[in-house]
Amino acid sequence: MAAVDLTTHPGHLARRLQQAHHLLWNAMVSEEITSPQYAVLNALVAEPGLDQRTVGERVGLDRSTIAEVISRLDRRALLAKARDPRDGRRCLLRLTDEGARTHRRLTVRATRMNQVLLGPLSTDERHVLLDLLRRVSDAAEALRDPEPDPPDRLRAASSFTKR
């Protein structure tokens, strides 16, 4: 069997893009705060007082990953937890003052980094790329969701081929 052209495989290209993003993130944004940690800070700027599960849903992190990210941000005193007065089993999350300062600082750096990452593309191409990445990512979320019945999951998977 002949070798395949991996430049036609979206997973291979996604991995290469992730590697480039990781390299640029560490060089231009932060070596201490990861991109997923920044996403959590950003979600809490947009919607203060969310619980951990909802933050995970907003930023596309599974339960175990969001728990670790929240724990790390808590240890760094970038967020604060408070019991939900309506449901004592839930903790509501808010940024600390240091968390808000960190978010502001990283947002400026992340904007610059994204300009470098997307530098080879025109403005119109950037919009198209981001739209396509959102569509594929949104459809992929349906594959990861454990709640739908298997036939529903298969229907969701077939949406990849319908567009």
Domain containing 25 equals: 20-117
Residue 145 has pLDDT above 70, yes or no: no
| Per-residue pLDDT band at 88 (split at 50, 70, 90) | confident
d(C-alpha 162, C-alpha 109), whole Å: 38
**Domain ends where: 117, 135, 152?**
117
Asked if residue 141 belongs to a domain, the reply is yes
Domain count within the chain: 2
What percent of the chain stands above pLDDT 90?
A: 79
Residue 149 has pLDDT above 70, yes or no: no
Other C-beta atoms closer than 10 Å to the C-beta of 12 total 13
Answer yes or no: do 158 and 106 share one domain. Answer: no
Residues facing residue 51 across a β-bridge: 92
Other C-beta atoms closer than 10 Å to the C-beta of 106 total 21
Residue 13 has pLDDT above 80, yes or no: yes
Answer yes or no: do 104 and 145 share one domain. Answer: no
pTM of the model: 0.84
According to the model, what pLDDT value does residue 87 have? 86
According to the model, what pLDDT value does residue 18 have? 96
